[in-house]
Amino acid sequence: DQEAVESNVSRIVYANKDNAKVYNISGRVIGHINANTEMQLTGINGNICRVVKDGKTAYMYQSDLSTEKVDVEDDSTASRIVYVNKNGAKVYNISG
């Protein structure tokens, strides 16, 4: 029962992964957030946390939260080396 959430908790937390799910009080997914999104933790009940962002209250699993920002891999910085074995070969980007 999420109504029994302790309300005496108050500290800053961050999403610890991209696409972390955010739930309403009924347990329905209402959105996703990116890693390192800053929120105010206002309550904990078991593994469910009540968080507030921009004045809006939602719920997240404790396993999706961190007390510190996390390192996130950025695919855009990966270098790619391509060798062409014939003249006129077609080259495609990652999306084809």
Tokens standing for 52? 């507030």
Q: Compute the distance between CA of residue 71 and CA of residue 65 in angstroms, rounded to an integer.
A: 13
Q: What is the pLDDT at residue 1?
A: 46
pLDDT in tens, 53-83: 999 999 999 999 999 999 987 655 555 555 5
pLDDT at 9: 83
Round the average pLDDT of the chain to a whole number and report it: 82
Is pTM beyond 0.85? Reply is no
Q: What is the dihedral of CA 60, 64, 70, 73, to 10 degrees?
A: -120
pLDDT at 72: 81
Could you read off the pLDDT of 48-58 as tens digits, one per residue?
999 999 999 99
Average pLDDT rounded to a whole number, residues 83-91: 55
pLDDT of residue 24 exceeding 90, the answer is: yes
